[in-house]
Amino acid sequence: AQSVAQPEDQVKVAEGNPLTVKCTYSVSGNPYLFWYVQYPNRGLQFLLKYITGDNLVKGSYGFEAEFNKSQTSFHLKKPSALVSDSALYFCAVNDNFNKFYFGSGTKLNVKP
Amino acid sequence: NAGVTQTPKFRILKIGQSMTLQCAQDMNHNYMYWYRQDPGMGLKLIYYSVGAGITDKGEVPNGYNVSRSTTEDFPLRLELAAPSQTSVYFCASSYSLRGPDNEQFFGPGTRLTVL
């Protein structure tokens, strides 16, 4: 079965420190990979995506993500976290059959 | 440019009642989607549409129906509401599905409670 896993329910980092939010997937074919962010009582906002090419993709607000095909992972990273980055982050995968699969979300808590 | 709009924002239904969640987008996107988000869970795809007059089932379609008579609108119909349909519902749209502009734009959501 197709699935997306975000192994950490919550990630806590201090402001200014680097952050990583993990995502692994089990989807056949050549999936497209996405990261979205959700602020309280809002819809999801697109951050970045990987389709093909360079394994390191850069997105909005200084976020980047690294695609690793052999480990089927697509971890979200940022070199220096801000308090305003605190939100819920979702990894999503688009398979080759027009379906989208979302992870369960990781709550990022950046402390001052 | 309003993006993706959803109405209502909140609704409480009694078991067995029916309702329609409205979704509209003004970005001329061909693709539209309905998701539900349960507490502590990711989004589950209910239905999607690749254009006016064309819809298809997602992961969790049971208990729901959709129609797409125009490019702009993609209403979701709940028939015979059940407590298991208590959730937050998100509508989304995208320009393409597998092409370079396939990121989805989401509406603000509808919080539905079935009692």
Segment B99-103 shows an average pLDDT of 79
Q: Per DSSP, what are the bridge partners of residue A93? A: A33, A101
Q: What pLDDT does residue A28 have?
A: 82
| Contact indicator for B114, B83 with CB cutoff of 8 Å | yes
**Sign of the C-alpha dihedral computed for residues B15, B17, B18 and B24 taken in this order:** negative
Owner of token pair 């990121």: B103
| Contact indicator for A48, A60 with CB cutoff of 8 Å | yes
- Put simply, whether B2 touches A (Cβ < 8 Å) is no
Taking alpha carbons only, the member of A50, A39, A45 closest to residue A76 is A50
N residues, chain A: 112
Residues 6+ apart with CB under 8 A from A15: A81, A82, A83, A110, A111, A112
pLDDT band, very low/low/confident/very high, at A27 (cuts 50, 70, 90): confident
Owner of token pair 């979701």: B76
C-alpha to C-alpha distances, B111 to A14, A33, A106, B33, nearest whole angstrom: 33, 27, 21, 17
Query: If you measure CA to CA, which chain B residue comes closest to A32?
Result: B98
Taking alpha carbons only, the member of B94, B95, B92 closest to residue B108 is B92
Instruction: Please tell me the distance in Å from A19's CA to the nearest CA on chain B.
Output: 21
Residues on chain B touching A103 (C-beta within 8 angstroms) = 42
| Contact indicator for B81, B62 with CB cutoff of 8 Å | no
| Contact indicator for A45, B104 with CB cutoff of 8 Å | no
Query: Which tens digit of pLDDT belongs to each residue from B34-63?
Result: 999 998 788 899 999 999 999 999 989 999
**Sign of the C-alpha dihedral computed for residues A60, B74, A27 and B85 taken in this order:** positive
Q: What pLDDT does residue B6 have?
A: 96
Q: What pLDDT does residue A95 have?
A: 83
Residues on chain A touching B106 (C-beta within 8 angstroms) = 36, 43-45
Q: What pLDDT does residue B78 have?
A: 96
Of B4, B103, B109, the CB nearest to A46: B103
Query: Which tens digit of pLDDT belongs to each residue from B3-19?
Result: 999 999 999 999 999 99
How far apart, in whole angstroms, are the C-alpha atoms of residue A63 and residue A75?
Answer: 11
Query: Which tens digit of pLDDT belongs to each residue from A45-98?
Result: 999 999 888 899 999 999 999 999 999 999 999 999 999 999 999 999 988 777
Taking alpha carbons only, the member of B33, B30, B52, B13 closest to residue B107 is B33
Please provide the average confidence, as pLDDT, over all residues in chain B.
Answer: 93
Longest alpha-carbon distance in chain B: 43
Segment A24-49 shows an average pLDDT of 90
Query: If you measure CA to CA, which chain B residue comes closest to A42?
Result: B108
% pLDDT > 90, chain A: 76
Over its C-alpha atoms, chain B yields an Rg (Å, rounded) of: 13
Q: What pLDDT does residue B1 have?
A: 74
Q: Per DSSP, what are the bridge partners of residue A73? A: A24, A68
Q: What pLDDT does residue A1 have?
A: 74
Model confidence at A19: pLDDT above 80: yes
